[in-house]
Structure 1
Amino acid sequence: MNTFVDICLSPFQEFLFMRHALVACFALALGCGPVGMLLVLRRMSLMGDALSHAVLPGAAIGFLVSGLSLYSMTIGGIVVGLLVALIAGLVSRYTSLREDASFAALYLVSIAVGVLIISLRGTNVDLIHVLFGTILAVDDPALILVASITSLTLFTLAFIYRPLLVECFDPDYLKSVGGHGGAMHSLFLVLVVLNLVAGFTALGTLMAVGMLMLPAASAHFWGNQYWTTSLVAVCIAMFSGYCGLLLSYHFNLPTGPSIILVAGGCYLFSLVFGRKGSLLSRYQPGSHLTG
């Protein structure tokens, strides 16, 4: 029993950097869970992936100006991420191209520009740092940034989640009662970008979207209500962060990919054994009666 406790707790008791990483994972989970669930409900999962790559050129510009500076890369990521979201919205509004297609086109350009900018000044190590993150190097300023973005996300969602949910299922009704669906959609995209930037500071651009989408996709198989499934998504994200850190520590594995692979395992488990819409639930006796 003591050996099991040592395996699960000793890394966090002995090393400050492990405690910092765990707190960062928990803070990310609190913000990414509710936002990820809204992306799933609004059928915008791939848009979240596109925005995560759109952050890269801004972070690269920040890197070009100040090196691996947390604040310059964060500000650059936020500005360019919001700019890409704005351009994609304008393209879909004034042309025949759908918003998801415009996001896909812009994110491909964005990731190419970002990698090119980093390559101009940095090394392969710098490129790997930006793409895959170094969560074990999270310090107090990074924790404050992640916690601030998470707090802002939760407070904002507490005020606007009702119109966001109505727009998911009946946008015409929201428009008829003057619900400002366009403004709500834009504000939601701002929250998505902010949470992707928070994830970028810890997990890198390629891994950040995994923390945003995999727990939400997993939670979809366990609940029926938004806040219920959001809570499940938060718990899965926290579990993934904790187990991923342990796997990384004990088996000397890359930390970010370990966390995302645990989240992927949770998704596969939910896909098979979840209580709502999973493979197993569809083949249970009487499942055809419940639709």
Structure 2
Amino acid sequence: MMLFHLLVDPFVQFGFMRRALIACLALSISATPLGVFLLLRRMSLVGDALSHAVLPGAAIGYLISGMSLVAMGVGGFIAGLAVAMLSGVVSRRTQLKEDASFAGFYLGSLALGVTLVSLKGSSVDLLHVLFGSILAIDSHALLMVGSISSVSMIILACIYRALVIESFDALFLRVSSGKWLAVIQGIFLALVVVNLVAGFQILGTLMSVGLMMLPAASARFWGRDLPHTLLIAMLIGMLSSVIGLIWSYYASLPAGPAIVLSANVIFFISVLFGTRGGMLTASRR
């Protein structure tokens, strides 16, 4: 009973903890399936690049409207989508590979965003942009995150079959309906960017990709098929959110890094003990 109270009391007593938990749960449901598909497409580092690419747009929104989450979110979405499209154009029309073109654009985006925030804001504002302020999330930001999560799940359900085919056999999709291949890729990247923008609202640009990729990577060691892997990734994301928030409350740690660290601990446990390719399981066989 005492353990139950220790786990539940922070969320019962404080509204900011409840809002943070709801936002993280919503983001876990919508972002982790995208992380699974990024892993299947061997684009896991692209997610990290896009999380940094939203920074210049968010910084421009900050310069115009201050710490307005709507303005920063819209600016971040435009910047992230622009970097994704430009990287695709460069990789198709030059000899540069897609990962290298993403690296070139996101490094410049990160430096530009930090510079723009520093022009007007203080070091505290810069820390909020880079690492988020999840415990300060208000009802407007919560509504925005919830809306993004809901719309993302609906769109992902609509393109699920085509996305599965494109992830496992892109050549088949290109031959059977080549004109739709670019459309599916564009919609998928747009979903990744908009979920990173939602994660930016609560975890910051440097941490938002953690809740997308770490549960997805952990689920690969437990899932027997794709639907099973998607479900496990969502559950790991939600578990990491709960553990991280409780950990941050009792240990007086920053909430965003605590959530990502919790996801990282689960990842290491999965690497060691996972039933689908974990190190100890493989050594026994």
Structure 2 counterpart of 1:205 = 205
Q: CA RMSD in A?
A: 0.8
Structure 2 counterpart of 1:288 = none
Looking at structure 2, the residues matched to 236 and 105 of structure 1 have their Cα atoms a distance apart, in angstroms, of 32
CA deviation map 1:42-72 (0-9, x unaligned): 1100000000000000000000111100111
Looking at structure 2, the residues matched to 25 and 159 of structure 1 have their Cα atoms a distance apart, in angstroms, of 24
Letter of the aligned partner of 2:165 in structure 1? V
Structure 1 counterpart of 2:284 = 284
Structure 1 counterpart of 2:175 = 176
Q: Within 5 Å, which residues of 2 pair with 1:239-254?
A: 239-254=239-254
Matched, 1:190 2:190: yes
Deviation at 1:85, TM superposition (A): 0.5
Looking at structure 1, the residues matched to 28 and 83 of structure 2 have their Cα atoms a distance apart, in angstroms, of 25
Looking at structure 1, the residues matched to 107 and 120 of structure 2 have their Cα atoms a distance apart, in angstroms, of 21
Looking at structure 2, the residues matched to 111 and 251 of structure 1 have their Cα atoms a distance apart, in angstroms, of 31
Deviation at 1:159, TM superposition (A): 1.1
Structure 2 counterpart of 1:139 = 138
Matched, 1:85 2:89: no
Looking at structure 2, the residues matched to 61 and 188 of structure 1 have their Cα atoms a distance apart, in angstroms, of 25
Structure 1 counterpart of 2:4 = 5
Structure 1 counterpart of 2:74 = 75
Matched, 1:38 2:37: yes
Looking at structure 2, the residues matched to 114 and 227 of structure 1 have their Cα atoms a distance apart, in angstroms, of 37
Letter of the aligned partner of 1:197 in structure 2? V
Looking at structure 1, the residues matched to 143 and 81 of structure 2 have their Cα atoms a distance apart, in angstroms, of 22
SS in 2 for 1:277: coil
Deviation at 1:224, TM superposition (A): 2.8
CA deviation map 1:109-150 (0-9, x unaligned): 000000000000000000000000010011111111111111
Letter of the aligned partner of 1:229 in structure 2? T
Letter of the aligned partner of 1:170 in structure 2? D
Letter of the aligned partner of 1:140 in structure 2? S
Q: Structure 1 runs of 4+ off > 2 angstroms?
A: none
Q: Within 5 Å, which residues of 2 pair with 1:94-113?
A: 94-113=93-112
Structure 2 counterpart of 1:225 = 225
TM-score normalised by length of structure 2: 0.98
Count of residues in Structure 1 that have an aligned counterpart in Structure 2: 284
> Comparing 225-234 with 83-92, which one deviates more in the overlay?
225-234
8 Å contact from structure 1 (residues 11, 18) kept in 2: yes
8 Å contact from structure 1 (residues 131, 206) kept in 2: yes
Structure 2 counterpart of 1:158 = 157
Letter of the aligned partner of 1:253 in structure 2? L
Letter of the aligned partner of 2:89 in structure 1? L
8 Å contact from structure 1 (residues 34, 227) kept in 2: no
Q: Within 5 Å, which residues of 2 pair with 1:9-20?
A: 9-20=8-19
Deviation at 1:102, TM superposition (A): 0.3
SS in 1 for 2:276: coil
Looking at structure 2, the residues matched to 224 and 181 of structure 1 have their Cα atoms a distance apart, in angstroms, of 27
Letter of the aligned partner of 2:121 in structure 1? G
Letter of the aligned partner of 1:236 in structure 2? I
Looking at structure 1, the residues matched to 29 and 169 of structure 2 have their Cα atoms a distance apart, in angstroms, of 27
CA deviation map 1:23-43 (0-9, x unaligned): 011000010121111011111
> Comparing 174-183 with 208-217, which one deviates more in the overlay?
174-183
Gaps of 5+ in 2: none
Using the aligned pairs only, state the percent identity. Answer: 52
> Comparing 155-164 with 17-26, which one deviates more in the overlay?
155-164
CA deviation map 1:211-245 (0-9, x unaligned): 01000000010113222111101111101111100
Structure 2 counterpart of 1:289 = none
Looking at structure 1, the residues matched to 278 and 136 of structure 2 have their Cα atoms a distance apart, in angstroms, of 38
Deviation at 1:182, TM superposition (A): 1.4
Structure 1 counterpart of 2:265 = 265
SS in 2 for 1:233: helix
Letter of the aligned partner of 2:219 in structure 1? A
Gaps of 5+ in 1: 286-291
TM-score normalised by length of structure 1: 0.96
Looking at structure 2, the residues matched to 150 and 75 of structure 1 have their Cα atoms a distance apart, in angstroms, of 15
